[in-house]
A and B are shown apart, each in its own frame.
Chain A
C-alpha cells in the first residue's frame, strides 16, 4: 500500500510539471492557433538563465526565478512581434518558424554553455518521509507553483477583460478586431505569458532533474502529447490530461517496468484519441 501511495505522489509530481508546460503550450494554440515547437527551447532557456543568475552572478534563487520568467517572456514577446506575427496566418510557416527558432535557441545555448550538464541544484534539498512514502520538498514547491499557475491562468483567461479579449480573438479574429480588440497587443502578450510559464517551469524543474541544452526535446514531446490528449487549446483539458499522463506514467513504470510503462502511456493516449479525436475536452472545430 505504501508503494501505491508513493507512486501516486510521484504521478502527481510529474503531473504538476507537465501541467506547467502544457498550460503555456495550449494557451498559444488556443489564442494564436500556433503549435509552438519552440516551447522546449524556452524551458531550457529558463533553466540556464536561473543557473547563470545563481551560479555566475550569485543572485538568490527566487530572484533568479523571476529573472528567468521575465527574460523568457520578453524573448517570447519579441519573437512573436518581430517574426511570428508576419506569418501567423500560414500554419505551415508557423510550424517551420517555431521549429527553426527552437534549433537556434538550442544551438546558442550549446555554444555558450557547452554540451555537458552544469551543477545546478534546487536550494531546498530535504525529503518528507512517512514510512515507505516520501516526497521531496522541491517537488512540493513545484506542485505549489503549479497550483498557483493554474489559478492565475484561469483567473486571467476567464475573469479579466484581457482574458475575455484573448478568448474573443481565439473565437473569431476578424470580428474581434472589428470590435476594437488589438491583435498586435494581445497576441504578443499571450505568447509572452506562455513562454514565461515555460521559462518558470525550466527554472523550477531543471535543478530538480538535470540541466543540459537538449532537455527541451522530451519536454516538447510530452507537452505536445499532453495538450493533444487534453484537446488542443483547452486549458482545463491540458490540466486534466497532464495529471492523467503523470499518474499513468508513474503507475505503469512502477508496476510494468520502464519500457512497458512508456508503451502503456502511448497506447492509452492512442485509444483515447481514436474514441475522441478532439481530445478529452477539446472542441471539434477551431474557427479562428
Chain B
C-alpha cells in the first residue's frame, strides 16, 4: 500500500515536471512537405535549406519571443515526392504531430494534395506552385510565396523577342497539373505577344525524350519553352534538342534550376541560347545573405536559387507568428500575416497581390530577375521590379 502510494506520488511529481515544463517552453515547429527525391529534388533541397537557415537565424538572434520567452524553431521536413498523395500523406503526418505552421510545398501536384489537409487541420501554410488555383478564397489560410508565370513570363518573353527572331514556340511540360497549368499560361502569354504556341506534354517518369523532341521539332518552332519540366528532365530535353539539330533559343518559364539543367545537358555550350526566370537578382544584399548562411550553417547555401524565395517566405511566417504571439493558433497567425508589409531585410520590399488572378490578396510579390545565356556565355542577371496589381 505504502509503495503504491509512493509510485503515485512519484508519477504525479514526474507528470507535473513534464507538463509544467512544456507550459512555459515555447517551440515553433514549422512543417514542410518538400520534394527530396526524384528529378525535382533540387527544389525541395532549396526549401529545406532555407527552413533550416531561418530556424537557426531566428533562434540565434531571438527573433521569435512569445510572452517574454525566446522560442526554439524546429523544421520538420517530410519527402512529398512531388506528388499530391505524397504531400497529403506528409501533411497528415505533420498534423498528427500537432504542427500548425507550414512552409512548402514546391510543386502544383503537391500543393493540390496538401491544401485540403491544411484546411481540415486548421493549419496556416505558405506554398509555392504555379498552378492556376495555387491559392484562393476557399483556402483562406494558404499564402503564396510569389507569382507564377502569369506574373513574370511576359518580361522574359519580351527579352527573348528582343534578342532572337522567332514567331513560333513549342512548349513542353509533364502531363499533370504541375505541367499543364504552367504551359497553358505560358502559351497564352506567348500568343498575346504575337508568337504562335504549340503545347506538348509527356508522362512524368519519362527518361528518354528523343521521341518527344522529334515531335516538337516536327512543328518547326523557332524557340522551345521547357515550362515547369523538372531540372533533370529539362537537361535531357535540351541535350536531345541540340543533338537533333535545334539551334533556336530555349526558354524555361517555370522555375530556376539552370545549373542542374546545364550539368545534365553537358554544359553552357549545349544550352547555347537560354532564358529563364530567376527568383532574385544577385546583388550585395544577397551576397551578404549567402555569407550569413555560411557563418550560421557552416557551408554554402543550397545551389537552387529558390532558396532565396523560401527564406523570404519563412521569415514572413516567423514575423507573422511573432506578431500573433502564438505558435499554434493558425487563424491568428494568418490574420497577422495579412497585416504585415511585404518586406525582407536582404531581398527587398514588395506588395501583396493575387486578387485579380486568384480572387484573394495573399500572394507575395517582390523583385525578381531574368537569366540569360547567349552564345554559351552566361550574362549578368537583369533585375525586374515586383509585379503589382492595378
| Residue A80 at the chain B interface, CB threshold 8 Å | no
Measured CB to CB, the closest approach of chain B to A14, in angstroms, equals 6
> In the complex, A73→B373 CA distance in Å?
43
> What's the Cα separation between A90 and B286 when bound, in Å?
58
Q: Does B243 lie within 8 Å of A210, measured CB to CB?
A: no
Which residues of A from 93 to 140 have beta carbons under 8 Å from B? 110, 115-119, 121, 125, 127, 129, 134, 136
Query: Out of B37, B39, B203, B244, which one reaches A262, CB within 8 Å?
Result: B203
Closest chain B residue to A255, Cβ basis? B215
Q: A115-B41, A127-B243 are in contact. Are A250 and B210 (CB under 8 A)?
A: yes
For chain B, residues 231 to 250, give those with C-beta under 8 angstroms from any C-beta of chain A.
231-232, 235-236, 243-245
**Which of B41, B206, B262 is close to A258, meaning CB atoms less than 8 Å apart?**
B206
A213 touches which of B37, B206, B208 (Cβ 8 Å): B37
Which residues of the partner chain A approach B245 to less than 8 Å between Cβ atoms?
A: 127, 129, 134
**Taking the complex as formed, is B140 at the interface, i.e. its CB lies under 8 A from any CB of chain A?**
no
Task: A252 to B235: give the CA distance in the assembly, Å.
Answer: 23
Task: Render B197-215 as a binary contact track against A, CB cut-off 8 A, 1 for contact.
Answer: 0001111011110111011
CA distance A116 to B230 in the complex (A): 11
Chain A 40-77, CB within 8 Å of chain B: the 1/0 string? 00000000000000000000000000000000000000
Interface size on A, residues (CB 8 A): 42
Question: Once the chains are docked, how many angstroms separate the CA of A218 from the CA of B39?
Answer: 12
Minimum C-beta distance from B238 to chain A (A)? 11
- A283 → chain B, closest Cβ, in Å? 31
**B343 on the A face (CB < 8 A):** no
Q: How far is the CA of A17 from the CA of B207 in the complex (A)?
A: 11
Within 8 A of B (CB), among A198-231: 209-210, 212-215, 217-219, 221
Further pairs besides A125-B266, A209-B207, A221-B205: 9, Cβ < 8 Å: A7-B214, A117-B232, A117-B263, A210-B264, A218-B206, A253-B211, A253-B215, A255-B215, A259-B202
Complex A-B: 23 CB contacts under 8 Å? A3-B218, A6-B214, A10-B210, A13-B210, A14-B208, A115-B45, A117-B39, A117-B260, A119-B264, A127-B245, A134-B243, A209-B207, A210-B264, A213-B37, A215-B207, A218-B205, A253-B211, A253-B212, A258-B175, A258-B201, A258-B212, A258-B215, A259-B201
B interface residue numbers (CB < 8 A to A): 36-39, 41-42, 44-45, 175, 200-203, 205-208, 210-212, 214-215, 218, 231-232, 235-236, 243-245, 260, 262-264, 266-267, 303
Which residues of A pack against B, CB within 8 Å?
Answer: 3, 6-7, 10-11, 13-14, 17, 110, 115-119, 121, 125, 127, 129, 134, 136, 209-210, 212-215, 217-219, 221, 249-255, 257-259, 261-262
